[in-house]
Amino acid sequence: MLAKVTSCAVIGLDGQLVDVEVDIGSGQVLFLVVGLPDTAVQESRERVRAAIKNSGLNFPLKRVTVNLAPADLRKEGPAYDLPIAVGVLIASEQITADLSNALIIGELSLDGAVRHTSGVLSMALLARERGIKTLFVPSADAPEAALIPDLEVIPIESLFALYAHLQGFQSIAPYRAQVQYDADDVPPYPVDYSEIRGQEHVKRALEVAAAGQHNIIMTGPPGAGKTLLARSLPSILPRLSLPEAIEISRIYSVSDLLPDDSPLVRHRPFRSPHHTISFAGLVGGGRWPHPGEVSLAHRGVLFLDELPEFDGRSLEGLRQPIEDNFQT
């Protein structure tokens, strides 16, 4: 029998739907995963097999073929474990629910527990854009997914809990967002601008830069207070609106850097990379594209201490975004 479950990949900062197709046929007992999977996705075969068995369900002793479509898109990470397991259970007729308008993501442990997955906010945004109404996510990521309105977010603790929910044995209540955001609340900053005494000319320049969103360069001898003044700059920037906070949180979600106590970044970021950072680490990219320090400083402050020590390629990579005031 053939089954299809919808999941999601994160490419850069954007989500892209991935169809997890599972076919169970006759022949040699085998478990294949195709569709340009990386090593983590290939290893999902053993995680899925063990999770199904340890959840008290039956893994079919037949030829199981899993295709991750589109096949020309490289698949990274363990977020496909749960949709693959659900696809196997549907194809083996252990689950009969209709999942045509649902998106499933999550990493499985060997005992069937569902682990945290990065990039959930980008996946939830894509689900809303594509008209998908139901999102099955790890319970640890439910507060993050629930930031996006008009979605039914189902928090999943384990594979068996999802099986029981889909079969109607024990329903899981949708997660209700509990995040309260007040744009007037002043978040705590490590350095507050109001606590700095003296340096009135530099402080005036920082105020102008903050008001007009300008770049600024500070020069002077060591110990003059340049770093302290730079670290105080976020405290005089305008407070984040909720759409801006979600925009920043999306970047930090992909980078797996969201705060442990909140799914939302509530203050403007301050990033201060060391001058030995690589080009990809600064501007982003890599074999599997990930945000760099420039993206992590979005709507905040990027502080390049000891600017002349950065290599020429990195500085050249920053030139065009500074000139255009926009990063592609």
- List pLDDT tens digits, range 265-283: 988 999 999 999 999 999 8
Distance CA 129, CA 115 (A): 25
CA 145 remoteness from chain centre: 10
- Where residue 327 falls among pLDDT bands split at 50, 70, 90? low
Is the distance from CB of 106 to CB of 77 less than 8 angstroms?
no
- List pLDDT tens digits, range 249-268: 999 999 999 988 888 998 89
Distance CA 304, CA 209 (A): 16
Q: Nearest-CA neighbor of 103 among 181, 10, 210? A: 10
- List pLDDT tens digits, range 191-227: 889 888 888 999 999 999 999 888 899 998 888 889 9
Least confident of 73-82, 175-184, 225-234: 175-184
For the chain, the structural domain boundaries read: 2-166, 193-324
The secondary structure of residue 173, as a DSSP letter, is: P
Least confident of 21-30, 180-189, 216-225, 226-235: 180-189
Q: Nearest-CA neighbor of 67 among 126, 4, 137, 25? A: 4
What's the mean per-residue pLDDT of the chain?
Answer: 92
88: number of Cβ within 10 Å: 26
Note the pTM of the prediction, 2 decimals: 0.89
User: What percent of the chain is predicted at pLDDT more than 90?
Assistant: 73
Is the distance from CB of 126 to CB of 14 less than 8 angstroms?
yes
Tell me the CATH architecture of domain 193-324.
3-Layer(aba) Sandwich (3.40)
- List pLDDT tens digits, range 116-138: 999 999 999 999 999 999 999 99
Is the distance from CB of 185 to CB of 196 less than 8 angstroms?
no
Cis, bond preceding 234 (omega within 30 deg of 0): no
- List pLDDT tens digits, range 69-110: 999 999 999 999 999 999 999 999 999 999 999 999 999 999
Coil, helix or strand at residue 9: strand
pLDDT on residue 326 = 66
Q: Domain 2-166 is in which class?
A: alpha beta
pLDDT on residue 4 = 96
- How far separated are the first and last CA of the chain, in Å rounded? 44
C-alpha separations of 269 from 134, 219, 262, 322 in Å: 32, 23, 15, 18
